[in-house]
Amino acid sequence: MKKEVLGKCPICGEELEVTRLSCNHCHTNIEGDFSLCKFCKLSYEQKNFAEVFIKNRGNIKEIEKELGISYPTVRNKLEDLILALEYKSISKTK
């Protein structure tokens, strides 16, 4: 069973770097400094919220229902996700 890519070090919390890619079919290995996509750097909880958000097409009522959380909690999780993806927060720029 394959493991999900970690974006942050489980010990110190700093960003991890990908230095090797491998092909399971032909066994080619490529070494270098590769960057992770923005989504790879998210925590498990943030990825889960993003998936629920997309699945429910941003319908906050449906997100509340599926996750069993309140409207303010959905908004806070969305703000955290926006900031984690390195976008500017609308509520904090007003």
Reference 15, options 38, 31, 49, 44; nearest CA is 38
Question: Tens of pLDDT along 50-83?
Answer: 999 999 999 999 999 999 999 999 999 999 999 9
Q: What is the mean pLDDT of the chain?
A: 91
Q: pLDDT value at position 53?
A: 98
CA 73 to chain centre: 17
Task: Confirm whether 60 is domain-assigned.
Answer: yes
What range does the domain containing 58 cover?
A: 39-93
Q: Residue 33 phi/psi, 5° resolution?
A: -105, 110
Number of domains in the chain: 1
CB burial class (10 A; 0-12, 13-18, 19+) of residue 6? Answer: middle
Taking only the tens place, the pLDDT of each residue in 5-32 is 788 888 998 888 899 999 999 999 999 9
The answer to whether residue 78 is domain-embedded is yes
Higher pLDDT, 89 or 26: 26
| pLDDT at residue 29, rounded to an integer | 97
This model's pTM is above 0.85: no
